Amino acid sequence: MSPKTKSAYTVPKLKDFSTNALHKALIEAKLAFSEELLNANSDAAWKVFRDRWMARKNGVLTQINDLWLKTAPKENKREAGQLVNELKQFVEQEISRARGFVDGGAAELAVGLERLDITLPGDRRALGAEHPVIKTMNEIVGVFRNLGYSVEEGPEIETDYYNFEALNFPPNHPARDTQDTLFIANQEAKPLRERLLLRTHTSPVQIRSMEKMKPPVRVVCPGKVHRNDAPDATHSPIFHQVEGLAVDTNITFCDLKGTLDHAMKALFGSSVKTRFYPSFFPFTEPSADVQISCIFCGGKGYRDGGPCRNCKASGWIELLGCGMVDPNVYGFVDYDAKRVSGFAFGMGVERIAILKYGVDDIQLFFNGDVRFLEQFG
Crossing angle of helices 19-39 and 105-113, rounded to 10°: 70
Nearer Cβ to Zn ion (283/316): 316
Residue 310 CB, shortest distance to Zn ion, in Å, is 5
Nearer Cβ to Zn ion (205/294): 294
Nearer Cβ to Zn ion (294/353): 294
Residues in the chain: 377
Binding status of residue 297 toward Zn ion by CB under 5 A: yes
Binding to Zn ion (CB under 5 A): which residues in 159-178? none
Binding to Zn ion (CB under 5 A): which residues in 176-235? none
Residue 315 CB, shortest distance to Zn ion, in Å, is 6
Nearer Cβ to Zn ion (13/309): 309
Residue 209 near residue 140 (C-beta atoms within 8 A) = no
Q: Which stretch in 17-25, 64-72, 290-298, 351-359 sits in contact with Zn ion by CB under 5 A?
A: 290-298
Q: Which stretch in 133-141, 287-295, 322-330, 340-348 sits in contact with Zn ion by CB under 5 A?
A: 287-295
Strands (DSSP E) contained in the chain are 150-151, 157-159, 196-198, 217-226, 238-248, 274-281, 284-293, 302-303, 306-307, 316-325, 341-348
Count the Cβ atoms, other than its own, within 10 Å of residue 280: 12
Helix (H, G, I), strand (E, B) or coil at 171: coil
Instruction: Choose which of 17, 90, 161, 296 interacts with Zn ion (CB under 5 A).
Output: 296
Q: Which stretch in 22-30, 37-45, 214-222, 292-300 sits in contact with Zn ion by CB under 5 A?
A: 292-300
Phi and psi (nearest 5°) for 363? Answer: -65, -25
Binding to Zn ion (CB under 5 A): which residues in 299-328? 308, 310-311
Whole-number Å distance between alpha carbons of 293 and 291: 7
Binding status of residue 17 toward Zn ion by CB under 5 A: no
Nearer Cβ to Zn ion (319/325): 319
Strand-pair category, 196-198 with 157-159: antiparallel
Phi and psi (nearest 5°) for 242? Answer: -125, 120
Whole-number Å distance between alpha carbons of 99 and 92: 11
Residue 358 CB, shortest distance to Zn ion, in Å, is 12
Q: Distance from first CA to last CA of the chain, Å, rounded?
A: 69
Residue 298 CB, shortest distance to Zn ion, in Å, is 8
Whole-number Å distance between alpha carbons of 294 and 304: 14
Binding to Zn ion (CB under 5 A): which residues in 326-355? none
Nearer Cβ to Zn ion (260/308): 308
Nearer Cβ to Zn ion (203/291): 291
Interface with Zn ion (CB under 5 A), residue total 6
Residue 239 CB, shortest distance to Zn ion, in Å, is 23
Residues 6+ apart with CB under 8 A from 201: 163, 225, 241, 243, 346
Residue 143 near residue 266 (C-beta atoms within 8 A) = yes
Instruction: Choose which of 84, 141, 294, 344 interacts with Zn ion (CB under 5 A).
Output: 294
Nearer Cβ to Zn ion (39/310): 310
Phi and psi (nearest 5°) for 8? Answer: -65, 150
Binding residues for Zn ion, rule: CB under 5 A, are: 294, 296-297, 308, 310-311
